Structure 1
Amino acid sequence: MSSDNLFDELAEMFSDTEEFSASSASSSEDDEEPAPAQGSSHAEAEEWTATGSLQTFPFSGVGHFSIGPAESPIDFFNLIFSSTFMSMLVSSVNTHGLRLMLESTGPHSRSLKWNNTNEDEMRIFLALLFHMGHISVSRLNYYWSTDKLFNLPFKLFMSRDRFLLILRNLTFSDSNSYSDTDPNRYCKPIIDFFNSLMKTLVNPPKNLTIDESVVLWRGRLRIRQFIKGKRHKYGVKLYVLTDTNGITQKMHMYCGSDDALLKGKGHADKVVMMLMEDYLNTGRSLYTDNFYNSVTLAEKLLQQRTYLTGTLRANRARNPGITKSKIARGTLLTRYNARGVCVTNYRDKRNVLMISTEHHSDFVQSSNSHGQVKLKPKVIVEYNKYMNGVDLKDQMLSYYQSYKKSTRWYKKIVIHVMQVMLLNCFKMFNEQKKRSGDNSRSMSFFDFRLNVVKMLLKKFDTPTDRLTETEVSNRPSTSSSQRVHTIAYLPKNDKNKTKRKDCAHCLKKRKVRKATLFYCPLCIKKPGLCIPCFGEFHRY
Structure 2
Amino acid sequence: MKQDTFNLMLRFLHVSDSYNEPPRSSASYDPQYKYRKVLEHLTARWQQGYDLFKVLSIDETIVGFKGRHCLVNYIRIKKHHQWGPKEYNLADSKTGYVLNTVYHTSALQVSDKGQPFDVCNKLLENHSGKHHHLVVDNYYTSRVLCEEMLKRQIYVTGTVRKGRPGLPDGINAKLTTKGEMNVMRNGQIMALSWVDRKQVRMLSTHASAKTCEKTLWNGQVKTLPTVVVEYNGGMGGVDVADQMADAYAAERRTMKCWKKIFFHLLDRTMTNAYIMYKLNPNITKPMGHYNFIVEVIEGLLGGYQESRQHVGRPSLGDMQSRFTARHFCETIPDKKRKVCAVCSKSRVSGYKGTRITTWCKSCGVGLCRKECFQAFHT
**TM-score using structure 1 length:** 0.54
Distance 1:349 1:260, change over 3 A: closer
Asked if 2 retains the 8 angstrom alpha-carbon contact of 1:280 and 1:304, the reply is yes
Asked if 1 retains the 8 angstrom alpha-carbon contact of 2:158 and 2:203, the reply is yes
Aligned pairs for 1:344-363 within 5 A: 344-363=192-211
2-structure distance, mates of 1:369, 1:171:
49
Aligned pairs for 1:150-229 within 5 A: 158-174=1-17, 178-181=21-24, 182-229=30-77
Structure 1 residue 295: Cα displacement: 0.7
Give identity over the alignment, percent: 28
2-structure distance, mates of 1:228, 1:200:
35
Asked if 1 retains the 8 angstrom alpha-carbon contact of 2:108 and 2:119, the reply is no
Aligned pairs for 1:199-278 within 5 A: 199-231=47-79, 232-244=81-93, 245-255=95-105, 257=106, 259=107, 262=110, 266-278=114-126
Structure 1 residue 407: Cα displacement: 4.6
Structure 1 residue 161: Cα displacement: 2.7
Structure 1 residue 482: Cα displacement: 9.7
Give the corresponding residue for 1:50. none
Give the corresponding residue for 1:368. 216
Give the corresponding residue for 2:307. 463
Which runs of no fewer than 5 residues in structure 1 stay unpaired? 1-157, 465-474, 476-480, 487-495, 497-540
Mapped pair 1:451 → 2:299:
no
Asked if 1 retains the 8 angstrom alpha-carbon contact of 2:50 and 2:276, the reply is no
Q: Which amino acid aligns with 2:185?
A: Y
Distance 1:180 1:375, change over 3 A: same
Structure 1 residue 347: Cα displacement: 0.5
Q: Give the one of 232, 241, 249 matched to 1:384.
A: 232
Q: Give the one of 183, 208, 223 matched to 1:334.
A: 183
Residue deviations 1:145-179, cap 9 Å, x none? xxxxxxxxxxxxx2333211221233321558752
Structure 1 residue 216: Cα displacement: 1.4
2-structure distance, mates of 1:443, 1:399:
16
Aligned pairs for 1:18-417 within 5 A: 158-174=1-17, 178-181=21-24, 182-231=30-79, 232-244=81-93, 245-255=95-105, 257=106, 259=107, 262=110, 266-321=114-169, 322-338=171-187, 340-417=188-265
Q: Which amino acid aligns with 2:4?
A: D
Residue deviations 1:418-473, cap 9 Å, x none? 000000010000011xx34x443x43212212222333345125628xxxxxxxxx
1-structure distance, mates of 2:9, 2:78:
32
Q: Which amino acid aligns with 1:376?
A: L
Larger radius of gyration: 2
| Structure richer in strand, relative to its length | 2
For this pair of structures, how many residues does the alignment match?
308
Asked if 2 retains the 8 angstrom alpha-carbon contact of 1:207 and 1:284, the reply is yes
Structure 1 residue 252: Cα displacement: 0.8
Q: Which amino acid aligns with 1:204?
A: L
Which runs of no fewer than 5 residues in structure 2 stay unpaired? 25-29, 316-333, 335-378
Structure 1 residue 246: Cα displacement: 0.7
Deviating beyond 3 angstroms after TM superposition, the runs of 4 or more aligned structure 1 residues are 174-178, 260-265, 454-458, 481-486
Report which structure shows greater RCO (CA 8 Å, sep ≥6).
Answer: 1
RMSD, aligned CA: 2.4
